[in-house]
Structure 1
Amino acid sequence: MTDTSATDFLDSRWIMYAQQYRDSFVRLCAHPVDALLDAAGVSEGMYVLDAGTGRGTAARRAQRRGARVRGVDVDPGGIVQARGSGVNATNHPLPELPFADGEFDVVLANFVIDCLDRPRTSLAELRRVLRPGGRIALTLWGARRGAGQDLLGRACEAGGIVLPPDQPSPDEPRDLPPLDADEEFDRTPAGMLELLGEAGFTQTSATEVTWNHETTVGEWWGGLADRLYLRPAYVTPPDRETTARIRAEYERLSAEFPQRDGKLLLPHVALLASGRLT
């Protein structure tokens, strides 16, 4: 029997944050989608699984290439939106999927593996549903970060909140208890090559992708501020006065970044990895 305590925690956290995530990080995470589909070789007639489909961004773009797509996600609200946009999506959290062995030609996971409590186990499940010769492509937040990824974390520190050393920055859409040692992996291109190789993939590739996320001061803050009150790492959540200080520091630090047409340009760095199942 599977111990579902950590998975239940993860499910509840994502449902809690679902609206904030959809309002702020969905556009951010959409940037590498075309490169993700290219790395997987998505083309007409393929049967594609979009794991962690969210609102269906990657699934819709795969459909526009002529692929047949199934989407799965833990967020019921995202599933509703994905279905509303024409994606065949269902609520099935990793690491257990309701599909037969070798059912798909391609598996996509856009910013999913690093948001799971059992990433290696989940990767093995994605491998199981991929046919021999099929391809997998993943994006995830890596060890190297762009300056825009540290904006809110810097504002928190300047406003009087110091995160524990092992706590992800508030800028990251990742909220997990510490991973078990046998599930952890190195979030670098070399680490991704090793992870995919150990999972049985060949013809592997891993690289960094960089981009400037365009947003406004208010928009970026709005999707993140409530996280200051919900994170379990804080023994005492920040009060309104502390939040006001953080907001003031956030606005001050935002002035460091270039703007275009009234939008902040926040540098981001992520990893893109792919492989073939032989």
Structure 2
Amino acid sequence: MTAFDVSERRIWDGRAESYARTFARLCAHTVPALLDAAAVVAGTRLLDVGCGSGSVTVAAVGRGAVVRAVDAEPGMVGATRRAAPGVEVRTGSLPQLPYPDGEFDAVVANFVLNHVGRPLDALVELRRITRPGGRVAVTVWQVPNAPGQALIGRAARAAGLTRPDWLARVDEEHDFPRTPQGLRALLTAAGLGDVRSGSVAWDHRVDPDDWWAGPASGVAAIGQLVNSRGPEGVAAAKREYDVLCEEFAVEDGLLALPHVAVLAQGSA
């Protein structure tokens, strides 16, 4: 386990409910495209890796797939079990999952490679548990971030907040460009064939207070930045956030926040 993996476990410990109330709806946007990329239809034996609050699992069940799910955070496991009764959901973390070789017709991981310290090893593991000819499909956030995703970071920096020292980054030798080309190269290096990749862009429409609630409650790395100086720092960042929100304001008091994800798929 890398230092990045250790800090990720610390970040997400006990935050399943806060995630479900905030960022989960954002991450659900890519689910239909992700399942299409993995060719998920009725009867597909699918594994949802990093299942979070269960959006991928629920959608796949709706397609008639035979779904199992796994997540490193016990709270996320519980959330997916509640969202999809009857689905087998287990605790497990990349790059070693508790399944035999070739167990699944398709394996998907929605914004999961963002949270592992050895992305290539993680993809090799996803390929291992996929049957020959089966599909692997993954998403990551594109870097540089789209303006909507960068909003809260801008507010935190304007308030003088800095990244906590304990918050690790992916080691340079394990990192990859978070672009369609970079993710395509990573899937190819993991031994997947017929690799394709592209970008998915959308405006996430959300109430400003709801969007702020995730980072304010410590969700994800951005939440650790916002909370790095305690309540005083949170309040300072919120004041900057309220000003910056004007750039994205639309009707009914909502924000339209541009986001871009990278989606890639390949055959085992």
**Helix, strand or coil for the counterpart of 1:160?**
coil
Q: Give yes or no for the alignment of 1:67 onto 2:65.
A: yes
Identity %: 42
**Helix, strand or coil for the counterpart of 1:261?**
helix
Q: Give yes or no for the alignment of 1:197 onto 2:188.
A: yes
Instruction: Flag the structure with higher helix content.
Output: 2
Question: What residue identity is the alignment partner of 1:204?
Answer: V
**Helix, strand or coil for the counterpart of 1:256?**
helix
Tell whether the 8 Å contact from 2:3 to 2:168 is kept in structure 1 after alignment. Answer: no
- The separation in 2 between residues aligned to 1:233 and 1:28, in whole angstroms, is 19
Question: What residue identity is the alignment partner of 2:201?
Answer: T
Q: In terms of mean alpha carbon deviation, does 98-107 or 77-86 score higher? A: 77-86
TM-score (ref. length: structure 2) = 0.90
Question: What residue identity is the alignment partner of 1:207?
Answer: G
Q: In terms of mean alpha carbon deviation, does 37-46 or 77-86 score higher? A: 77-86
**Helix, strand or coil for the counterpart of 1:250?**
helix
Question: What residue identity is the alignment partner of 1:104?
Answer: F
Q: Any unmatched runs of 5+ in structure 1?
A: 168-174
- The separation in 2 between residues aligned to 1:190 and 1:156, in whole angstroms, is 30
Question: What residue identity is the alignment partner of 1:68?
Answer: V
**Helix, strand or coil for the counterpart of 1:227?**
coil
Q: In terms of mean alpha carbon deviation, does 51-60 or 19-28 score higher? A: 19-28
- The separation in 2 between residues aligned to 1:47 and 1:79, in whole angstroms, is 19
How much does 1:148 deviate?
0.8
Q: Structure 2 residue aligned with 1:244, among 228, 231, 235?
A: 235
How much does 1:143 deviate?
1.3
Tell whether the 8 Å contact from 2:104 to 2:131 is kept in structure 1 after alignment. Answer: yes
How much does 1:268 deviate?
0.6
Q: Give the equivalent residue in structure 2 for 1:121.
A: 121
Aligned-residue RMSD, C-alpha: 2.4
Question: What residue identity is the alignment partner of 2:123?
Answer: L
Q: Give the equivalent residue in structure 2 for 1:258.
A: 249
- The separation in 1 between residues aligned to 2:63 and 2:4, in whole angstroms, is 37
Tell whether the 8 Å contact from 1:116 to 1:176 is kept in structure 2 after alignment. Answer: no
Q: In terms of mean alpha carbon deviation, does 64-73 or 77-86 score higher? A: 77-86
How much does 1:276 deviate?
0.9
Tell whether the 8 Å contact from 1:20 to 1:224 is kept in structure 2 after alignment. Answer: no
Q: Give yes or no for the alignment of 1:37 onto 2:35.
A: yes
Q: Give the equivalent residue in structure 2 for 1:56.
A: 54
Q: Number of residue pairs matched?
A: 264
Q: In terms of mean alpha carbon deviation, does 175-184 or 27-36 score higher? A: 175-184
Tell whether the 8 Å contact from 1:121 to 1:183 is kept in structure 2 after alignment. Answer: no
Question: What residue identity is the alignment partner of 2:65?
Answer: A
How much does 1:19 deviate?
3.3
Q: Structure 1 pair 112/231, CA: closer, same or farther in 2 (3 Å)?
A: closer
